[in-house]
Structure 1
Amino acid sequence: MLVALGCFLMTLVGGWTAQYVADRRHLVLGFAGGLMLGVVGFDLLPEALEGAGEHVFGVPAALLLFVTGFLVAHVVERLLAMRQAEHGAHRPDQVPQVGIGAAAAMVGHSIADGVAIGASFQVDEAMGLTVALAVVTHDFADGFNTYTVTRAYGNARRSAVAMLFADALAPVLGAASTLLFSIPEQALGCYLGFFGGVLLYIAAAEILPEASHRHPARSTLLCTVAGAALMWVVIGAAAG
């Protein structure tokens, strides 16, 4: 729960940054993308493969769920994009409900982040901390985007701040829910595989492209490599 509070604070920092400072955002996002890539490749997938155990038609169940998680995240993102495109003939400030809907989707995603943190701590403390580090870091982007998308569609600042606080509280509530039950090892491995696919999609299709879109600088790339390398060192030290 203390770690989940870090998600709360980082989300608020992201929302505050969206209001006042945006010039160095690409460096934070680049680093966050590298962290998320490292967590998926070095920690989530190995644990999922070990825990899920079974094969389904010749393929490990964890990898099937990994691909499923990636595709589910892609479908959700595309559905939101299509919904926004339906209103493309109107000015963004004429459809504030689209901004609220997109922000609400981010809140739902943040609840799943909190569940992932709690589930990871049920495996062991080292894995819980590495997953939490990735989630806390990318919650900066969540807070930034929640505030930005709400305001972009014409909602009042008060509404944007309310959605920001809802997104900040969501991972705390998700983590708290895992205190009420213990996930069986096989189900936990499957869940980690699914969440790994979702996390990889967020990193590869949203965080990293956004980091490089307006600032295709070498420093952004270096931050991404540094993030992945840091996770390698952290996970290796924990295993040792």
Structure 2
Amino acid sequence: MNPILYATLVGAAVGALGTGIGALAVFFIKIKGKRISAVLMGLSAGIMLSVVLFDMLPESMESAGWPLALVWFAAGAFALFLINKFMPHHDVSASGNSELIRDLKQDRLVRSGFLLAMGIAVHNLPEGLALGSGLVSASSFGFGLAVLLFVHNIPEGMGLAIPLKLGGVKYSRILLTAVLAALPMAVGALVGALVGNISPTVLGGSVAFGGGAMLYLTFSELLPQAAGLYKGWPTWAGLAAGAVFGGILVALV
């Protein structure tokens, strides 16, 4: 098979299967009551937090150096701040209608899920670049990286699927969103295979940008919504469990 086509197909499979399996796992979680919903949102936040702090940020600092990585990290957070600022928002407290308040909360959960998918898509591009470059230059390294990225994408798929499920989005649409968020990995793999060696500075800066976007969403959207669903320990229990789960997966790969 043509090596460029091979790299592109591997990138597509790694991204779609990893993120898709993570999203599918959420389908089997039964949601009963606000307490469980708060735990799940905390779990989503914890997973994203661990992926960013234990994986993406250290990787970007190692590749691009910490000053440049922090600059791109801040740029990613600011970019998502601007996107979020100009998206339509509804004031949940502006109405006393309980049914309307519930619908508005669901709308916000859905928005958070789609914003999170955007953040994941952004950082999948540089990962695809590294994968494509690795597959055409050193097949053993490329295969090992493919396995690593596959496992890495599973918690991300879970993280983006949780708010979408809580927002009432259909399973088919959640799965489609997860797969679309993974597609930039295929594009990156294609470009990486065509170009060959990619500058570590470029890769590190791109990963940092995606990490900043995801961290911003964790603190501005996921955690506040989890706390709003149910006051008290469920949010923090979910956050701790998600951080431990994500940290274990990062450590394993």
- TM bucket, shorter chain: 0.5 to 0.7
Q: Indicate yes or no: 2:45 matched with 1:33.
A: yes
Alpha-carbon offset, residue 179 of structure 1: 2.2
User: CA contact under 8 A between 1:8 and 1:169: conserved in structure 2?
Assistant: yes
Question: Taking structure 1 as reference, are residues 218 and 107 closer, same or farther at Cα in structure 2, changes over 3 Å only?
Answer: closer
C-alpha distance 208-6 of structure 1, shift in aligned 2 (>3 A): same
Q: Which of 181, 195, 213 is the equivalent residue of 2:228?
A: 213
Q: Could you tell me how far 1:5 is from its partner in structure 2? A: 2.3
**Letter of the 1:215 counterpart:** Y
Task: Establish whether residue 137 from structure 1 lines up as the match of residue 158 from structure 2.
Answer: yes
Q: Is the 8 A contact 1:110 1:167 kept in 2?
A: no
Structure 2: stretches of 5+ with no match in the other structure: 1-12, 95-99, 102-106, 135-141, 193-197
Given the superposition, is the C-alpha separation of residues 107 and 125 from structure 1 closer, same or farther in structure 2, using an over 3 Å criterion?
A: closer
Deviation sequence 1:120-165 (CA, Å, 0-9, x none): 75694575256413311212135337755xxxxxxxxxxx788656
Contact 2:123–2:207 under 8 Å retained in 1:
no
Say if 2:203 is the partner of 1:178: no
Q: Name the structure 2 match of 1:157.
A: none
State, as a whole percentage, how many aligned pairs show the same letter. 21
Match runs of 1:99-178 below 5 Å: 108-109=118-119, 111-112=121-122, 114-115=124-125, 118-119=128-129, 124=145, 128-129=149-150, 131-141=152-162, 143-144=164-165, 148=169, 164=174, 166-178=176-188
- 1:45 match: 57
One-letter identity of the residue aligned with 1:29:
M
Question: How large is the RMSD of aligned CA atoms in angstroms?
Answer: 3.8
Cα distance between partner residues in 2 of 1:70 and 1:48: 15
Aligned residues of 2:22 and 2:156 also touching (Cα < 8 A): no
Q: CA deviation at 1:177?
A: 1.3
Q: Which runs of 5+ in 1 are unaligned?
A: 54-58, 93-97, 149-159
Which residue of the partner structure matches residue 247 of structure 2? 232
Residue 22 to residue 191, structure 1, CA distance change in 2 (3 Å): farther
Partner of 2:16: helix, strand, or coil?
A: helix
Q: 1:68 to 1:6 in 2, by over 3 A?
A: same
Amino acid in structure 1 at the alignment position of 2:229: R
| Match of residue 63, structure 1, among 59, 70, 78 | 70
The secondary structure found in structure 2 opposite 1:216 is coil
Cα distance in 1 for partners of 2:85, 2:201 equals 31
| Among 210, 213, 218, the residue aligned to 1:198 | 213
* Cα pair distance change 1:161/1:137, threshold 3 Å: closer
In the alignment, the residues of structure 1 paired with residue 59 and residue 117 of structure 2 have an alpha-carbon distance, to the nearest angstrom, of 26
Q: For 1:146 and 1:117, how far apart are their aligned partners in 2? A: 29
> For the residues of structure 2 that align with 1:209 and 1:49, how far apart are their CA atoms?
28
Deviations 1:13-54 (A, max 9, x none): 76898xx9463332222112112111211111111111113x
Structure 1 equivalent of residue 237 of structure 2: 222
Specify whether residues 39 and 146 from structure 1 end up closer, same or farther in structure 2 by C-alpha distance, changes over 3 A only: same
Once the two structures are TM-superposed, the CA of residue 77 in structure 1 deviates from its matched residue by 0.7
Query: Which one-letter code corresponds to 2:204 in the other structure?
Result: G
